Amino acid sequence: MTDMFNALVVEKDDAGKTSASVQEIGLDRLPEGDVTVAVEYSTVNYKDGLCIGPGGGLVRNYPHVPGIDFAGTVEASEDDRYKPGDKVVLTGWRVGENRWGGYAQKARVKADMLVPLPEGLSTRQAMAVGTAGFTAMLAVMALEDHGIGDGPVLVTGAAGGVGSVATAILANLGYKVAGVTGRPESADYLTSLGATQIVPREDINETTKRPLETENWGGCVDAVGGEMLARVLGQIQYGCSVAAVGLAGGATLPATVVPFLLRGVNLLGIDSVMQPYDNRLRAWTRIAKDLPMDKLDSMVRPATLSDLPQLGADILKGQVQGRVVVDVNA
């Protein structure tokens, strides 16, 4: 095991200004933990943008290594569950936020935070999926567990990271998928992922705003929240579910209780950060089985550690599309 490795290190100066640069650092700088991983790939998420920049309240201590997810190979382990050479994947647990994360060639974490990479999934594919895709799978599992109807399943924010993967998984499982997008130019992309219907964003937002509308959808994976989620609730089939994942369109929910009372609609909150081990393993195993890997490539853009300062700024401005996979050894 070599002692020195490259990492994207974010530092804060005395004036409180942060700066990010690729540095060579030693293994002794890694946090306490029972498993050391040779990281192969990580990804770029909105939270990473915050942590590469001023932190947005997520980073507790500087210097900091961001990267909220990673996949790689175990290099050393003090835990019986993992041995050198095992392939592993990590999402959540505030890694990359209040603990050093995946924007480095090495990471040290607690064994409880890891999941063995399922059969049939490479480390690169795992990070093409990443936190966004893992969350999409959790949302699909929640719909299946709590009620999904025979109508098309709506995916809001469909061209984004969560929405793209949710569309591909649902279509592969045989559901009709209606993708809601504010970008008409995304229609071909969404159709290639398996969407059977493209719904312009305004078609949902500009409905009558009555508490109940026609029961159009057999369920919904919602990455948008706000007004969009409020309108969708009134259009869900009786006894079916909405998996609420994000708030790209706002945190306020201007809805009534009527869809819950008169249609038995289930509103399911999805949190990818604190999922119990069994559920994480179940989701990653389902990803390997239910996500068509040929579709992943069309979502992915490659990057290196030195690209990250720019990508972090871009994602905060909403200028990154699809999934960015970071090869930390490139």
Interface residues with ligand NDP (CB under 6 A)?
A: 46, 131-132, 135, 157-163, 181-183, 186, 201, 223-224, 228, 245-249, 270-273
Extract the tokens encoding 262. 């008169």
CB of 55 to ligand NDP, least distance (A): 16
DSSP string covering 170-238, please?
HHHTT--EEEEES-GGGHHHHHHHT-SEEEEHHHHHTS---S-----BSEEEESS-HHHHHHHHTTBPT
CA nearest neighbour of 9 among 79, 71, 54, 63:
63
Residue nearest to ligand NDP (CB): 160
Q: Which is nearer to ligand NDP, 24 or 271 (CB)?
A: 271
CB of 157 to ligand NDP, least distance (A): 3
> What are the C-alpha distances in Å from 244 to residues 163, 220, 222, 256, 266?
12, 8, 5, 16, 10
Distance of CA 25 to the CA centre of its chain: 28
Q: Which is nearer to ligand NDP, 12 or 301 (CB)?
A: 301
CB of 36 to ligand NDP, least distance (A): 26
Q: Which is nearer to ligand NDP, 35 or 178 (CB)?
A: 178
CB of 189 to ligand NDP, least distance (A): 9
Q: Which is nearer to ligand NDP, 25 or 308 (CB)?
A: 308
CB of 323 to ligand NDP, least distance (A): 8
Q: Which is nearer to ligand NDP, 163 or 259 (CB)?
A: 163
CB of 72 to ligand NDP, least distance (A): 21
Extract the tokens encoding 78. 């003090």
Q: Which is nearer to ligand NDP, 105 or 156 (CB)?
A: 156
CA nearest neighbour of 44 among 160, 155, 192:
160
CA distance 183 to 158: 10
